[in-house]
Amino acid sequence: MRALFLTAAQITIAIFGPWYLGKWIRILFFDDSKIPFGFIWIFGALTIVILGLLCVMLYELYKLNRTIIKDYDEKA
């Protein structure tokens, strides 16, 4: 049941997240209410993709750092 709720939340965020983020980006940076809906969704989607890639990069760096420290401790 937990997995079902998690999946529903992920689907909801995937659909409404880009729109909501794009709306805030439009308000903060463009101050123009005449920007089409498609552009709002694209701005939000790009923001989510960039933040997701950043999280993956940080996680990979964390794993690499743990491996280096583990190898160093084994050699010492």
Render pLDDT for 15-57 as a digit per residue (tens, 0 to 9): 788 878 777 777 777 776 677 777 777 877 888 888 888 888 8
Q: What angle do CA 19, 50, 57 make, to 5 degrees?
A: 145
Q: Residue 32: what pLDDT?
A: 65
Q: Residue 56: what pLDDT?
A: 87
- The DSSP symbol for 76 reads -
Domain ranges of the chain: 2-75
> Whole-prediction pTM value?
0.56
Q: Residue 18: what pLDDT?
A: 81
Q: Residue 4: what pLDDT?
A: 64
70: Cα separation from own chain's centroid? 29
